[in-house]
Amino acid sequence: MPSMERRWLTIVGRFLPQVSFGLAATADGEENLAVMRKRVVLLAVPPVDELDLVGPVEVFGTANRLVGGGRTPYRVEVVTTARDRRIDGECGLSLLAHRHYQDVESRADSVLVICGVGARTMRDRALFGWLRRVAETTRRLGSVCVGGFLLAEAGILDGRRATVHWRYAREFADRYPRVAVDPRPTWVQDGNIYTSAGISAGIDLALAWVEEDFGTAAALKVARELVLFLRRPGGQDQVSVSLEAQASCTKSMHELQVWMADHLDLSLPVDTLAERVAMSPRNFARVFGQEFGTTPGRYLLQLRVEAARRFLEQTDKSLTQVAIACGFRSVDVMRRAFLRSMGTTPLGYRRHFRTAATGSRMRSAALHGPLAVARGEIARAARVATTSSRRLKLGVVAI
């Protein structure tokens, strides 16, 4: 075979999945996949946050049990930079890797980098060289949490959009001005490179890979098996409105919060909400403000917008259906709410919710507690990211 033809096949093969499958309808009408295994390598640079590593392993392991018609679609290997193969966890758990990363033989379909916060300052030329080679040959290369620092240090993220855990987003943007840092999403894809926010976001990224490989139904089946409350898409914010409110609410208010989220299709006036917690409307408004740091009306609007975002991200419902399901009186009311809180229309959000959010006019809720601080850090990191993105664009123009 001529060398040019071999080179062309190598380039094309990089982007083709290492899997072949056939679809056959089962008795209950579901599609059954006869699957050849995909090789997934998880590189752990200890010490690591245990969930960063165990979460994705559990996703692929669960997919092996539920997807593939009796065959295991994933071959999962855990490798490490430690010569003794021991992976120490930040919480005290120790694991034993299959092998040292330099002993990995043949090309993997996907590689996921996991490391602890201390590794974000490491300088390991051998490791960075290995990562660069992997980026050129593997179908997918991803990182969890501050693993993005290692990819950036290796030069893999130059000119790309990326994310990390919100706590380290500002440092990430300052250290790597050639990276377009987006601190809000749970995970980001740019070409064959994926970065995620860390901790539970590593599970979201692993589920996204399962969805890429075997479809939405398979990913949802895995998510249900893992009893996940919500399978979050990449465009979902790292911190949600509901989670922020839970940081400082009493049991009765927490129960009300859950009830409100389950009944967004109703009008939910203050009198109705006060009656749910056996308070007068005036006392309820005072207690609600103390607990949530905002008014019942503003909090309800935030819940409606967040619910509408999930519908727009994950379903094909029409704008009218979404507006009714989320309690907006009309599409126009929902549109005005989106413009105020998101800086875009519902239709625009549906089209572009996976793109960079750094230039949007998203506003933080005026809530108290540690998660309010998270919102502030994300907002500040977003401003830094905007500057970083502008510098990157200017650099491209200059070239």
What does the pLDDT read at residue 371?
41
Looking at the structure, do residues 215 and 253 belong to the same domain, yes or no? Answer: no
Looking at the structure, do residues 221 and 246 belong to the same domain, yes or no? Answer: no
Averaged over 89-107, what is the pLDDT?
93
Write out the residue range of the structural domain in which residue 183 sits.
10-225
Q: What does pLDDT average to over the chain?
A: 79
> Is the model's pLDDT at 354 over the cut of 70?
no
CATH number at residue 320: 1.10.10.60
What does the pLDDT read at residue 38?
94
Averaged over 357-385, what is the pLDDT?
41
Looking at the structure, do residues 186 and 90 belong to the same domain, yes or no? Answer: yes
Beta-bridged to residue 285, according to DSSP, are none
What does the pLDDT read at residue 362?
29
Measure CA 367 to chain center: 23
Residue 2 lies in a domain: no
CATH number at residue 154: 3.40.50.880
Q: How far apart are CA 52 and CA 33, in angstroms?
A: 28
Of residues 370 and 233, more confidently modeled: 233
Looking at the structure, do residues 277 and 140 belong to the same domain, yes or no? Answer: no
Residue range 62-74, pLDDT digits in tens: 999 998 777 889 9
Q: How confident is the model at residue 100 (pLDDT cuts 50, 70, 90)?
A: very high
Lowest mean pLDDT among 123-127, 135-139, 356-360: 356-360
Looking at the structure, do residues 178 and 319 belong to the same domain, yes or no? Answer: no
Residue range 49-65, pLDDT digits in tens: 999 999 999 999 999 99
Q: How confident is the model at residue 253 (pLDDT cuts 50, 70, 90)?
A: confident
Q: 164, 142 in Cβ contact below 8 A?
A: no
Looking at the structure, do residues 17 and 83 belong to the same domain, yes or no? Answer: yes
What does the pLDDT read at residue 292?
81
Averaged over 72-78, what is the pLDDT?
95
What does the pLDDT read at residue 309?
86
In one letter, which amino acid is 396?
V
What does the pLDDT read at residue 171?
94
pTM as predicted: 0.59
In one letter, which amino acid is 106?
S
Residue 399 lies in a domain: no
Looking at the structure, do residues 52 and 132 belong to the same domain, yes or no? Answer: yes
Q: How far apart are CA 174 and CA 21, in angstroms?
A: 44
The count of domains in the chain is: 2
Three-state SS letters, the chain: CCHHHHHHHHHHHHCCCCCCEEEEECCCCCEEEEECCEEEEEEEECCECHHHHHHHHHHHHHHHHHCCCCCCCEEEEEEECCCCCEEEECCCCEEECCEEHHHCCCCCCEEEEEECHHHHHCCCHHHHHHHHHHHHHCCEEEEECCHHHHHHHCCCCCCCEECCCHHHHHHHHHHCCCCEECCCECEEEECCEEEECCCHHHHHHHHHHHHHHHCHHHHHHHHHHCCCCCCCCCCCECCCHHHHHHCCCCHHHHHHHHHHHHCCCCCCCHHHHHHHCCCCHHHHHHHHHHHHCCCHHHHHHHHHHHHHHHHHHHCCCCHHHHHHHCCCCCHHHHHHHHHHHCCCCHHHHHHHCCCCCCCCCCCCCCCCCHHHHHHHHHHHHHHHHHHHHHHHHHHHHHC
Nearest of 109, 98, 189, 107 to residue 148 by alpha carbon = 189
What does the pLDDT read at residue 280?
94
Of residues 242 and 30, more confidently modeled: 242
Looking at the structure, do residues 156 and 259 belong to the same domain, yes or no? Answer: no
> Is the model's pLDDT at 372 over the cut of 80?
no
Looking at the structure, do residues 254 and 198 belong to the same domain, yes or no? Answer: no
What does the pLDDT read at residue 258?
83
Looking at the structure, do residues 35 and 184 belong to the same domain, yes or no? Answer: yes
Averaged over 262-268, what is the pLDDT?
92
Averaged over 284-313, what is the pLDDT?
89
Lowest mean pLDDT among 68-77, 322-331, 363-372: 363-372
Looking at the structure, do residues 37 and 132 belong to the same domain, yes or no? Answer: yes
Residue 330 lies in a domain: yes
Residue 392 lies in a domain: no
Whole-number Cα distances in Å, 307 to 278, 326, 332: 26, 6, 17
